[in-house]
């Protein structure tokens, strides 16, 4: 029998029950800290402004890493289709986590890509750095992931990049990897889009893979997918993963229809196995967080723990004019 200390609503309006240092939530255990890390748009500051005004101009898809001299952030810059699409990935640094200075800019032409999406920036055990790039194959719906290493984030040379997640031009696109090095192994959650039906290529699932070196990956299956009839029925894309003892909390993007493409909202999934995440469902349904502005897009959440015990959130959020800004919160 479980005895609850007290019951209240959390910041997303869910009914939560506290038991010790955990929250019993929809029959799953989530640490108090991870629930508190659901985005609060009203508390967000703009870290990178959109490259233009109006729909189709985006700064976002962030991947952040804490280093000795501040926070390094890799992110995607986009213009509307026909005006450049995902034209560049920037790597920048900020001592305060907010005011970023660009130290590298990688263009889509540098990797022979029609568009770039969310990158993944990681610090290798050796101290070097690696950048994973989500690249659209020109003239197709296919995506692949390339990787390149450097001694410093300002020194990435994409002329030396290699394809590490090729996907399949006719069957599946692979993009937006979330990668962690833990307990001597590399773990990855990557977004998969089906390509066999041209009308269904916007659908997405998240698959889990492992690696000994972060380059050669072994796939283990689908970790998270959309739920029929729910707000995330069209697909689920994991954007951040946090381990807490034997439990895993994942944040993910979801949408209910193809019309909501580009305006995904943020949900929370939990589990004890990285290849078997289960989306939580608040009373009445709906996402954990969304933008208060038109479209509601709040996506690509990433989290970094800071010295001293605080955490920074980075995510892409729709603005009043329909553009997307890269915003941050400090918790």
Domains of the chain, by residue range, sit at 7-330
Q: DSSP code of 43?
A: G
Average pLDDT, the chain: 89
Share of the chain above pLDDT 70, in %: 88
Contact between 234 and 226 under an 8 Å Cβ cutoff? The reply is: yes
Mean pLDDT of 233-248: 94
pLDDT band at 285 (very low <50, low <70, confident <90, very high): confident
Q: Is the pLDDT of residue 283 over 90?
A: no
Mean pLDDT of 42-58: 97
pTM for the full predicted model: 0.88
Mean pLDDT of 83-111: 96
Share of the chain above pLDDT 90, in %: 84
First to last CA, the chain: 34
Cα separation, 329 vs 331, whole angstroms: 6
What is the architecture, at CATH level 2, of domain 7-330? 5 Propeller (2.115)
Residue 69: CB atoms within 10 A of its CB come to 9
Mean pLDDT of 292-308: 95
Cα separation, 53 vs 165, whole angstroms: 34
Which residue stretches of the chain are H helix? 32-36
pLDDT band at 172 (very low <50, low <70, confident <90, very high): very high
Provide the pLDDT for residue 25. Answer: 37
Contact between 254 and 287 under an 8 Å Cβ cutoff? The reply is: yes
Provide the pLDDT for residue 21. Answer: 35
Residue 203 makes CB contacts below 8 A (sequence gap 6+) with 193, 194, 226, 234, 235
What would you measure as the largest C-alpha separation in the chain, in angstroms?
A: 60
pLDDT band at 260 (very low <50, low <70, confident <90, very high): very high
Mean pLDDT of 30-59: 86
């Amino acid at each position: 029998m479980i005895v609850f200390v007290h019951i209240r609503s959390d910041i997303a309006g869910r009914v939560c029950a506290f038991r010790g240092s955990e929250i019993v939530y929809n029959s799953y255990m989530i640490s108090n800290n991870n629930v508190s890390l659901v985005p609060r748009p009203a508390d967000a500051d703009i870290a990178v402004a959109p490259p233009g005004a109006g729909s189709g101009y985006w700064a976002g898809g962030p991947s952040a890493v804490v280093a000795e001299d501040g926070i390094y952030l890799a992110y995607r810059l986009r213009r509307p289709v026909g005006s450049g699409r995902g034209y560049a990935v920037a790597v920048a640094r900020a001592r305060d986590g907010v005011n970023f200075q660009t130290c590298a800019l990688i263009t889509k032409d540098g990797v022979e890509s029609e568009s770039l999406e969310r990158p993944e920036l990681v610090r290798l055990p050796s101290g070097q750095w690696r950048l994973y790039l989500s690249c659209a194959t020109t003239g197709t719906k296919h995506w692949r992931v390339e990787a390149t290493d450097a001694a410093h984030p300002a020194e990435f040379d994409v002329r030396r990049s290699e394809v590490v997640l090729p996907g399949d031009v006719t069957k599946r696109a692979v993009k937006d990897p979330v990668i962690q090095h833990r307990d001597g192994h590399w773990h990855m959650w990557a977004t998969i889009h089906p390509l066999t039906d041209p009308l269904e290529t916007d659908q997405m699932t998240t698959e889990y893979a492992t690696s000994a070196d972060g380059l050669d990956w072994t796939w283990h299956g689908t970790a998270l997918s959309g739920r029929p009839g729910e707000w995330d029925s069209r697909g689920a894309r994991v954007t951040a993963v946090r381990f807490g003892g034997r439990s895993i909390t994942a944040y993910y993007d979801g949408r209910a229809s193809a019309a909501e493409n580009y305006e995904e909202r943020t949900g929370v999934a939990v589990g004890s196995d990285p290849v078997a995440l289960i989306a939580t469902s608040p009373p009445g349904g709906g996402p954990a967080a969304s933008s208060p502005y038109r479209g509601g897009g709040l996506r690509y959440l990433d989290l970094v723990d800071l010295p001293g015990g605080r955490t920074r959130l980075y995510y892409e959020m729709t603005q009043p004019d329909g553009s997307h800004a890269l915003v941050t919160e400090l918790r």
